[in-house]
Structure 1
Amino acid sequence: MSLDSPVSRRLLSDEVYDRLRDSIVRGELVPGEKVKDGELAERLGLSRTPVREALSRLADIGLVEAKPGVYTRITTLNRRDVEKTLAVLRSLDQLAIETAVPVMTDQDLQHMREANRDFERAVAANDTTAALAADDRFHAVPIAAADNPVLSRIVDQLHPQIHRILFRKFSTLLGGRNTIEHHDQLIDVCVGGDARAAAELSGQHWSALGGHINQLFDTNQFAETATT
């Protein structure tokens, strides 16, 4: 949904938060861009209060940064921060998978297969939004099976920081056969019940992703374009 679409009166702060988060991930609000709560409130047709609350929450998860009295802006893409975020996500994903494999059901595994087929179709159609949504559904299965609310909450908070990189460079980072094949391999290992091997395979995928992202930083493909 576009940032400029009218916002309903239901759960305003949550809806504004979701709208702004998605706009940052999609690049509608670009890294380094200054934002003003009054201007955003006018675009959304709201008072400043829910916008300020949403910006505060976005600052808590690292998508917005503020210097009181000077600026509020979309956080820039910083290699060091990205590396640290990836390291945490890798560890959490491995923990989720190692915990989930012993208790995953046939239905869980089927949901992973279905999500990967949706991912494959989205890749073929070059539909980045649908592909990332399918990838999220795939990884959400073991996270849900792990039944660890703290883990789930932290993953939800960290994912948008990586998603905005994936959205900008999807074809380079996730758009090939490698990710589809990795998903299928992970399902096969989960079916075999080897939790440690499944966690190790997941960790290898995250490490490879980190390597690809580092190459993009090396070639300056995340140069910021915001000038305001």
Structure 2
Amino acid sequence: MPVPATSLPPRGLLRDDVRAKLRDAIVDGTLAPGEQLRDAELSAWLGVSRTPVREALLDLARSGLVLAQPGRSTIVAPIDGRAERDAASVVASMHRIAVVESTPLLTDDDIDRMRRANEAFVAAHAAGDTAAALRADHDFHAVAVDRAGNEAVRTVLALYGPVLERAERLRFSSDDADASAARHAELIRHCAARDAQAAASVAEGLWLDLLTDTTPQEPA
């Protein structure tokens, strides 16, 4: 799909804002796998200079969402099953750490936040709103990450999490979302019981299992 012709209102977006908008456009398919990314077009679309666009593309290349080809064009990275599996392993480990560290510290309000996020996730799936389901899922997992306060975990998740968002969108648009909601509820029960190891195992499994039904199998 070509870069949208309608530009956003010009304003001084920071690199992080530009990165977030480009990341979201890649995840939701506005910018399709293999599509060429031209600085000038993206700058006009976002209403910013080329500098923050170039910086954002470099960040997204490190995340694996953009492929910068030396001496050639920069494109949206094709969906790569191996890269997604590698990212899932790293992200799963980070969420396990976050849950282990946060479970003893969780407040009743934190547990309620998790319940509300899961309810929002179920409602979004029932309404067929995949984007809302993704936001609710993010809010759900953010409770443990926020409470743990581990900046190394945050940094790694910010780098590799976006690689999995395309797989999440595919899963949450299918009946697999029901299984995710049930696992969320299981995680909440363990957190409420302050069973850090059981909660961490569920959290890790949620991410390791993400690609089971969404990533094509490679030939043997």
Question: What residue in structure 1 maps to residue 25 of structure 2?
Answer: 23
1:178 aligns with 2:179: yes
Correspondence 1:154-165 to 2 at 5 A: 154-165=156-167
**Shift of residue 99 of structure 1?**
0.9
Kept after mapping to 2: 8 A contact 1:119/1:180? yes
Kept after mapping to 2: 8 A contact 1:26/1:168? no
Question: What residue in structure 1 maps to residue 70 of structure 2?
Answer: 68
* TM-score (ref. length: structure 1): 0.87
**Shift of residue 128 of structure 1?**
0.4
Correspondence 1:138-217 to 2 at 5 A: 138-172=140-174, 174-175=176-177, 177-214=178-215, 217=216
**Shift of residue 203 of structure 1?**
2.3
Runs of 4+ displaced beyond 3 Å = 2-5
Q: 1:169 to 1:109 in 2, by over 3 A?
A: closer
Q: After superposition, give the CA deviation of every residue in 1:126-161 in whole Å (9 maximum; x if it has no partner).
A: 100000000000000001111101101211222211
Correspondence 1:33-182 to 2 at 5 A: 33-172=35-174, 174-175=176-177, 177-182=178-183
Higher RCO (Cα < 8 Å, 6 or more apart): 1
* TM-score (ref. length: structure 2): 0.90
Q: 1:186 to 1:125 in 2, by over 3 A?
A: same
SS at match of 1:73: strand
Q: Could you tell me how far apart the structure 2 residues matched to 1:15 and 1:201 are?
A: 32
**Shift of residue 44 of structure 1?**
2.9
Query: Which residue identity is paired with 2:104?
Result: P
Question: What residue in structure 2 maps to residue 6 of structure 1?
Answer: 8
Kept after mapping to 1: 8 A contact 2:10/2:46? no
For structure 2, the 5+ residue unaligned runs are none
Which is further off, 199-208 or 129-138?
199-208
Q: 1:46 to 1:99 in 2, by over 3 A?
A: closer
Q: 1:13 to 1:202 in 2, by over 3 A?
A: closer
Residue identity over aligned pairs, in percent, reads 38
Q: Could you tell me how far apart the structure 1 residues matched to 2:96 and 2:43 are?
A: 40
Kept after mapping to 2: 8 A contact 1:65/1:72? yes
Give the paired residue count.
Answer: 216
For structure 1, the 5+ residue unaligned runs are 221-228
Q: Could you tell me how far apart the structure 2 residues matched to 1:169 and 1:90 are?
A: 16
Which is further off, 151-160 or 82-91?
151-160
Question: RMSD over aligned Cα, in angstroms?
Answer: 2.0
Kept after mapping to 1: 8 A contact 2:125/2:172? no
Query: Which residue identity is paired with 1:124?
Result: A
